A = this chain, B = another copy of it.
Amino acid sequence: MTTLVDQIVYACDMFGTAVFAFSGVLVAGRMRMDGFGVLVLAAVTAIGGGTIRDMILGATPVFWVRDPLYIWVVLATAFFGMWLVRLPRRLPWYVLPVADAFGLALFTMIGAQKALHFGTSGIIAVLMGTMTGVAGGVIRDVLAREVPMVLQKEIYATACILGGILYSLALHLGLDRLSAMLICIGAVFSLRVAAIYWHLSLPTFSLERRQD
């Protein structure tokens, strides 16, 4: 049982890696980068969050050094992606955001799980889950010289925070591992898809007082 769940999570993890890498390819294309720039942006988006998580936890060598399949997935996505985005036929607009929401949900769960596995407290697990989900995109945006999108609008990191809290809480309340995983993934995914569908975003905070 555990083995099957682990294998499914592993397969989904590779799928999420590919989706995140592809979002890096898209930004690289917008910035007119060369082939190496495409590779770098694909890589930092896909594995940047988990890399920082592992360095902070001291889980070194980091995950993709131990298992280079992540790197091969990024390479394949970058090459295939550069060809894919030039095709005249486009996918429906919602395919990529929904795939991204799924990757985000999975990365959050994996990050929180790894932190708890290292014996951290619940708040650190929430933080590590969120970091695994969003830090790669933040580095991507910094390299592309944009203010990281995730800091300015949309319910994105918020979904990770909620998912991480539910995951830690579920385990704390004695639920089995599989249920906790499904609750976390379900919560991040549905909140994120709802945010895309209804264009939900957090209010921005500014130094001026609101004109009520």
Contact = CB atoms under 8 A, between A and B. Distances in A.
A28 interface: yes
A172 interface: no
A5 interface: no
Interface string A65-97: 100100110000000001001101000000000
Contact of A28 (B60, B64, B205, B210): B205
Contact of A58 (B61, B153, B207): B61
A145 B207 CA distance: 18
B36 A158 contact: yes
B30 A207 contact: yes
Copy number in this complex? 3
Contacts of A26: 207
A174 interface: no
Given A60-B56, A138-B143, A72 B35 contact: no
Nearest to A157: B36
Interface in A14-69: 26, 28-38, 40-41, 51, 55-58, 60-62, 64-65, 68
Interface of A: 26, 28-38, 40-41, 51, 55-58, 60-62, 64-65, 68, 71-72, 82, 85-86, 88, 118, 120-121, 123-124, 127, 138, 142-148, 150-153, 156-158, 161, 201-207, 209-210
